[in-house]
Amino acid sequence: MKNTIPFILLLFPILLSAQNTNVSGMISNAQGTIVQSVEVSLLDEQGQLITTQMTTNGRYTFEGLPAGYNYIIRLNKGGTPLNGLSTLDFVMIARHIIGIDPLGSELQIRTADIDGNGQVSVVDLVYLRHLILSIISELPNQRNWLFIAEDGTPPNSPQANSFSFYLQGGSITKNFLIQKVGDLNDNAVYN
């Protein structure tokens, strides 16, 4: 019996890594509308690309993944930077900055953080104004959309749309909310 327990403990990581598991999920906006044409990439813990797929019905699935490893999901959606942006968004960010009407959720704060530095400031207003007036044609960091994990997992950094997770065994679900950067009144076209 004494020899059996250490043997089982030594064998457990091997058995765990021999399991294949699945990761799947759905991408929607804050109102629950399924969002299509989102590029979902799966990377290993060193950041090497394993596979990429484009959502057609807001869903993605990665099958046959070895358990016992860390993985990264990276999300991206193309489109025009001006989609959904207006002077009203500018006013809403300005009202937050001067304290008249603070933004209430993490999603709103990240939406207003146009330059992706983790805070909402006058610099974000400058970028938004320049974009609306066609002085610039892209948002900083070339990101038009941001993603938030429904389970509360924080992104790897404020400007990154990538999320790390450990795959222990069995199938897991990782759902994400999508929001257009700068679009606080949420009038962007998602599909």
Per-residue pLDDT of the chain (191 residues; tens, 9 = 90+): 555 455 444 445 554 445 789 999 999 998 999 999 999 999 998 989 999 999 989 999 999 999 999 999 999 999 899 999 999 999 999 999 999 999 988 889 989 999 888 899 999 999 999 999 999 998 887 688 989 899 877 787 766 789 999 998 888 999 999 999 999 999 999 99
| 49 located within any domain | yes
| 64 located within any domain | yes
Domain that holds residue 77: 31-189
The reported pTM is: 0.82
113-143: b (≥16 Cβ within 10 Å) or e: bbbbeeebeeebbebbeebbeeeeeebbeeb
Under a CB-based contact definition with an 8 Å cutoff, are residues 184 and 80 in contact? Answer: no
| 16 located within any domain | no
| 54 located within any domain | yes
| 26 located within any domain | no
Residue 47: how many other CB atoms lie within 10 Å? 10
Residue type at 72 in one-letter notation: I
> What is the domain count for the chain?
1
